[in-house]
Amino acid sequence: MKKMLPWLITILLAITLIVVAVVLLTPQLLGKANNNPNSAAQAIEVRRYSADELVEMTSEITSIKTNLADQDYVASMNFAFQLNDKKSKEEFEKIKEFKIKPIIIKTLNDTKPEELKGSGGKDQLSAKLINLINKTLTQGKLNQIEITDYLVVPI
């Protein structure tokens, strides 16, 4: 019996370590499946606004020109940002040149030209930008981003 005791302890310790590893890793593995930027952006509830309300809550950034992840391609885009209220728009207007524009440029720099093809690619870019920009806003939320002008050309 004394010779079997170390073996039993080793086996129980191994089983315990395996169970602990599974318990700790399962949420991370399941969490990555739900880490889709589209699902986070779709969680934002979009309310119907009148044309006047839309104008009051929409801000534009024009003439974004930068290289994409493939340095042989250049993107030129204009964006319209719909915020949830007037105060959010005022804050957005104040920080758009030195906070929002760099976020857009960095995101485009990490994007391959193939990822922007089709409406799905543009929707994915918009969702990614919504998630990144909402983290920087202290008041209100960014509800929607529309790409108002789009051009990707090889150099």
Over residues 112-132, mean pLDDT: 92
Over residues 56-60, mean pLDDT: 92
* Beta-bridge partner residues of 75: 66, 152
Going by pLDDT thresholds of 50, 70 and 90, the confidence category of residue 54 is confident
Instruction: Give just the sign of the alpha carbon dihedral 91, 92, 93, 95.
Output: positive
Q: What is the spatial order of strands in the sheet that 58-67 belongs to? A: 58-67, 73-83, 142-154
Q: What is the pLDDT of residue 38?
A: 56
Contact 153, 74 (CB under 8 A): yes
Instruction: Report how far residue 73's alpha carbon sits from residue 97's, in angstroms, rounded to the nearest whole number.
Output: 24
Q: Which of 29-33, 39-43, 89-93, 129-133 has the lowest mean pLDDT?
A: 39-43
The structure's pTM equals 0.67
Q: What is the pLDDT of residue 25?
A: 82
Q: Which of 14-23, 29-38, 99-108, 140-149 has the lowest mean pLDDT?
A: 29-38
Q: What is the pLDDT of residue 4?
A: 86
Residue 154 has pLDDT above 60, yes or no: yes
Nearest to 154 by CA among 102, 76, 85, 88: 76
Instruction: Report how far residue 102's alpha carbon sits from residue 108's, in angstroms, rounded to the nearest whole number.
Output: 10
